[in-house]
Every structure is written in C-alpha cells, then in structure tokens.
C-alpha cells in the first residue's frame, strides 16, 4: 500500500510524543492522563485507517478510559467484525505509539503499509467518544491520523463503547449510521423477552457513574416504561465521572454508590461504568447491609435462564447444543461449583481480559461470560441461530433469538446486561432467589508495586506463577493453612502493579491470606515502599 510519507510527516508534527512516554496497548487499549495522549491517538488513527483501507470495510475507534477518573482518557480499536482488535495489530499499535522520533515513526508505518494491499472499496473509520472533556480534541487527533493515510472518517460523537462496536458491525452489514437502530434493537428484543409481563413493576434503580450511559438510558426511559420497566437514574451527570460511583467502584469497594445508600431494603439496583460496558447489581439487606450481585452472579442467572429456554425448545434441542460459561481466575469458587455441580454446564478458565473470554466463549453454541467486574455478554453461534430460525416457532425459540439480538455479540454491553437481568427477574426468578443461587466465599483483592512486575510469569490461566523461582511454592504453602483457601498473584495488564486475589472460609481468613501472599510477592519480587501488611492498597 502506497503512502504519502511527506504528508504524514507534516501531519504528525502537530502531535509530538511526550518525552519518555511509552504507552503499551493492553487489555483495555491505551489509557493515560489525557494530556499525554494526542500523539498516541493520532498514530492509532493512522493504524486503523490502514486497516480499514486494507479490508475495505469500516473499523472503529472508541475514545474512552472507561472506569478511570475524569482526567484520564484512552482509546480502544475495533475490528470490522465489531470485535476487539486482533492481537497482532495490538503489537503494531504499541510499536507506532512508542516511536520516539519522526524517522522511527515513518519507518514503522511504511514497513506496515508495505505488507498491506488496498481493497477495491475505500473503507472508513467510525469514531466515538464518551463524555470526558478531553474527548473531542482526541477524536479530532484520531481523525487527523486517519486522513494522513488517505482514510475516510465518520465521527458519531458521544456514544457508549458497546454502541460504537454495534455501529461498526451493523454499518458493515447495512451501510447505515443510525443511532436509533441500536435503541430499536434493544427495545424490540426486550419486548420479546418480557412478553406477557408488561405490567408495571417496582422501579429498577440505576447508578450511571455520571457517564455516557446516563445520556443513553435517559433516551430509553419513556419506551421502557411502556414495557413495564421504570428506571430511576442516579449519578446521571450532575457529579464527577466515576467518582464514588460506577460499576468498578461498587464492585471493588462493595458499597453503595453516591446518593443510593438510603434506598429501601430489597430495592433492585444496578451500577454501570463510565463508558457503559460493565454492569453489576446490588441491593440492601433487611439489616441495612450492602449485598452485591456481581458479574459471577449475572453469569449464573443467565445460565439458569438459557438452560430453561433450551429445555422448552423442540425435543432434542438442548441435548445437541453445547452450553458453557467462561471465567477468569477472579471468579469466586462458589460460582464455579454452582455452574458445574448444580447446572451441569461446562466451565472454562482463561487469562484475565475480555478478549480472552470472548474468544473462548465463541467455541460453544451458547457461550456465557461475565468477569466479576460485570463486563461480559452471551454469545450464540451463527450456526445455532440458523437452526433456531429454521425451527417451528414457539416462545422459547423466539426468546433465544431475542437474547442473541439483545446481548451484544461483539463486546460486553451494560445496557444489554441490565435489560437481560430484568427480563429474567420477570420470568419467575425473584431477586431473593437470584441472591440465593449460591453464597460467595469471602474474598479479598490487593495490589502492590514491585521493581519490575514482568519478573512474574504465570500459567494455568494466570492461576499459578512460573517465575520467579520459589514464588508459587511459597503461595501454595500459605494457601494450605486456610480452610477453603485459594490465592494467586499476577502482573496487572492495565497498570504498573501486581494484583493478589485470595478467598477462604471466612472474611478474616481471606484478608489474612491476601496479606500473606502479598508479603510473599513483595519479598520475592523486589517490593517498592512499605511491606503490604501496613500499606497494601485494597482494590
């Protein structure tokens, strides 16, 4: 593919890379303090512009830092399929973003372009952003990058991350950029799933993280009310993004988000994150305690519901369909036992990061994945959808097809997950019954800083350490002291830290095991600062 490198040089000069800034494309794309990012976003615009030109379809860029504070920003790159960027291109993104000089940048870009052939159709890049104040300027930098390599841009403004993925996917199918298509898909699917149960229900209280999800849910409130779902929105833009609110805050801190602590006991509540790709549920116990229903619980609820729908499909359907749940090492052990022992479904464990879970879930006819943080979806294999479409219609078949439309097939979607859970709760499963599916083992997550987190390498889906020598043996010895104990340590994929997870038969034991393992990591891996017993940060 030919490039006008002189034009690229001129365009790149407007977006110099900060000295010593070495961004790396990780599980969540690029993230950093927003003022550091113009060069990175410009260069990613060039990268995704080349990809779009080479495949002749639309690709995407979402400018967001998800659940990070307002002052941060970042971006995620989207394939023409609507799915996350393929790993080989993650390496290209990192190489381009880290090029220190103009000459290095042009050399890397030209080398990549030389491996590509332009398609017969030009392709385009669809750019979206969340509500951060830095988003518009970064989107403009991305557009400049696309233009520098001869690409076309469609900037669709402020959208949720899953909406951007949906738009890329549907544009390549129907050549349309209509936001209403996203809303119509959600509403009509929800209508089918709740057929016969559109009588008014108690309100669903939703913490919107003061993010883009609030804008989109506000547009859906009137139509959902006609279908019997009353949404009460909190943290809907009046406060700081992700500050004391949002799915990440609620799940990690296990406490009520700002403004929702006074809700009555038993009120069904949910929290989405800043770019609306995560959702967790919560309620208040009769004793005033905080009760979390995290991604593990959402996966379990979805598994119960889909298993029921399959059992009511035409005879023989369920027996010929593979259904599985994909988890990471962070999934609570009680959830794994419930899915395998009570539901009789397969569970597979992958490395942390939705790209790994999504890939593994596609191996099943019905693949369910939700990380504990609430990021996930339900995938139905295209061959299964065709089988269902060819069957005689009954309500279960229609609702299985509706699940495939409601649940984003490219990426996790907080609004989709919110509506699916509400539909299941209307179908005969109460909030109390959902809570009682299983009881989580007490757990604790900690993080600490070491001199070089890359000295830790792992295997068995990040559940066991390979290096440094002796680390895993010491962790095993610590775990053996605790009833129902389990623990692991892994280098973070999103920040310069090591993460420790522990669970045990009591909260006191889980806390003690986490501290002990964190201390072992500190000693074996060159810990920085105070030893964890005194200052290790709770996630």
Residue whose pair of structure tokens reads 């040089």 in the numeric block: 9
Cis status of the peptide bond prior to 468, with omega within 30 of 0: yes
Residue 457 has φ and ψ, to the nearest 5°, of -120, 150
Q: Are 43 and 95 in contact (CB under 8 A)?
A: no
DSSP 451-518: S-GGG-EEETTTTEEEESTTHHHHHHHHHTTSTT-EEEEEE-SSSSSEEEEEE-SSHHHHHHHHHHHH
Which residues, 6+ apart, have CB-to-CB distance to 516 below 8 Å?
Answer: 478
3-state SS class at 74: strand
Q: Report how far apart, in Å, the C-alpha atoms of 114 and of each of 46, 110, 111, 118, 168 are.
A: 14, 6, 5, 10, 26
- In angstroms, what is the C-alpha Rg of the chain? 23
Report the distance separating Cα 37 and Cα 31, nearest Å. Answer: 8
3-state SS class at 219: helix
Residues in the chain: 539
- Active site includes 430? no
First-residue to last-residue Cα distance in the chain: 46
CA 306 to chain centre: 21
Residue whose pair of structure tokens reads 């229609």 in the numeric block: 398
Q: Where does residue 16 rank: exposed (0-12), middle (13-18), buried (19+ CB within 10 A)?
A: exposed
Report the distance separating Cα 167 and Cα 177, nearest Å. Answer: 7
Residues 131, 253, 489: CA angle, nearest 5 degrees:
105
Report the distance separating Cα 403 and Cα 323, nearest Å. Answer: 14
In terms of DSSP bridges, do strands 498-503 and 346-350 run parallel, antiparallel, or are they unpaired? unpaired
Token digits of residue 145 = 């990058």
Which residues, 6+ apart, have CB-to-CB distance to 148 below 8 Å?
Answer: 7, 8, 11, 12, 42, 45, 46, 49
Report the distance separating Cα 60 and Cα 75, nearest Å. Answer: 10
Selected catalytic residue, list 39, 54, 66, 143: 66
Residue 175 Ramachandran class (φ > 0 left, ψ -120 to 50 alpha, else beta): left
Active-site amino acid positions: 66
């Amino acid at each position: 593919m030919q490039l006008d490198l002189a034009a690229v040089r001129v365009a790149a000069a407007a977006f110099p890379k900060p000295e010593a800034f070495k961004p790396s494309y990780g599980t969540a794309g690029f993230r950093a303090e927003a003022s550091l990012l113009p060069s990175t976003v410009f260069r990613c615009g060039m990268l995704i512009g080349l990809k779009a030109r080479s495949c002749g379809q639309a690709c995407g860029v979402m400018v967001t830092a998800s659940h990070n504070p307002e002052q941060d920003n970042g971006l995620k790159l989207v394939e023409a399929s609507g799915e996350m960027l393929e790993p080989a291109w993650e390496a290209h993104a990192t190489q381009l973003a880290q090029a220190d000089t103009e000459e290095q940048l042009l050399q890397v870009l030209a080398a990549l372009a030389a491996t590509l052939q332009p398609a017969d159709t030009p392709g385009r890049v669809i750019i979206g952003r969340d509500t951060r104040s830095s988003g518009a300027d970064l989107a403009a930098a991305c557009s400049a990058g696309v233009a520098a390599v001869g690409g076309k841009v469609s900037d669709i403004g402020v959208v949720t991350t899953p909406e951007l993925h949906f738009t890329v996917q549907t544009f390549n199918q129907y050549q349309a950029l209509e936001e209403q298509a996203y809303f119509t898909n959600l509403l009509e699917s929800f209508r089918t799933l709740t057929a016969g149960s559109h009588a008014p229900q108690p309100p669903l209280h939703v913490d919107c993280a003061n993010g883009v999800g609030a804008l989109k849910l506000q547009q859906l409130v009137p139509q959902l009310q006609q279908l019997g779902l009353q949404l009460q929105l909190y943290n809907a833009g009046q406060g700081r993004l992700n500050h004391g609110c949002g799915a990440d805050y609620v799940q990690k801190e296990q406490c009520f988000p700002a403004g929702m602590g006074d809700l009555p006991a038993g009120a069904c509540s949910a929290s989405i994150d800043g770019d609306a790709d995560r959702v967790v549920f919560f309620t208040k116990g009769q004793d005033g305690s905080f009760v979390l229903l995290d991604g593990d619980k959402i996966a379990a609820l979805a598994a119960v519901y889909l298993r029921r729908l399959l059992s009511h499909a035409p005879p023989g359907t369920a027996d010929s369909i593979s259904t599985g749940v994909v988890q990471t090492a962070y999934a609570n052990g009680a959830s794994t036992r419930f899915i395998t022992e009570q539901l009789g479904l397969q569970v597979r464990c992958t490395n942390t990061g939705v790209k790994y879970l999504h890939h593994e879930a596609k191996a099943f006819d019905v693949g369910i994945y939700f990380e504990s943080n609430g990021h996930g979806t339900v995938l139905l294999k295209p061959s299964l959808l065709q089988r269902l479409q060819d069957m005689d219609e009954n309500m279960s078949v229609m609702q299985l097809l509706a699940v495939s439309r409601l649940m984003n097939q490219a990426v996790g979607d907080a609004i989709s997950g919110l509506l699916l859970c509400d539909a299941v709760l209307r179908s005969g499963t109460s909030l109390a019954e959902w809570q009682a599916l299983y009881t989580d083992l007490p757990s604790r997550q900690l993080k600490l800083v070491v001199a070089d987190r890359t000295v830790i390498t792992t295997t068995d889906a990040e559940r066991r350490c390979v290096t440094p020598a002796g680390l895993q043996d010491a962790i095993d010895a610590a775990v053996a002291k605790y009833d129902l104990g389990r623990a692991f340590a892994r280098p973070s994929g999103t920040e310069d830290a090591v993460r420790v997870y522990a669970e045990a038969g009591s909260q006191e034991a889980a806390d003690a095991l986490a501290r002990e393992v964190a201390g072992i990591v500190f000693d074996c891996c060159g810990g920085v600062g105070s030893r964890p017993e005194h200052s290790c940060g709770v996630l």
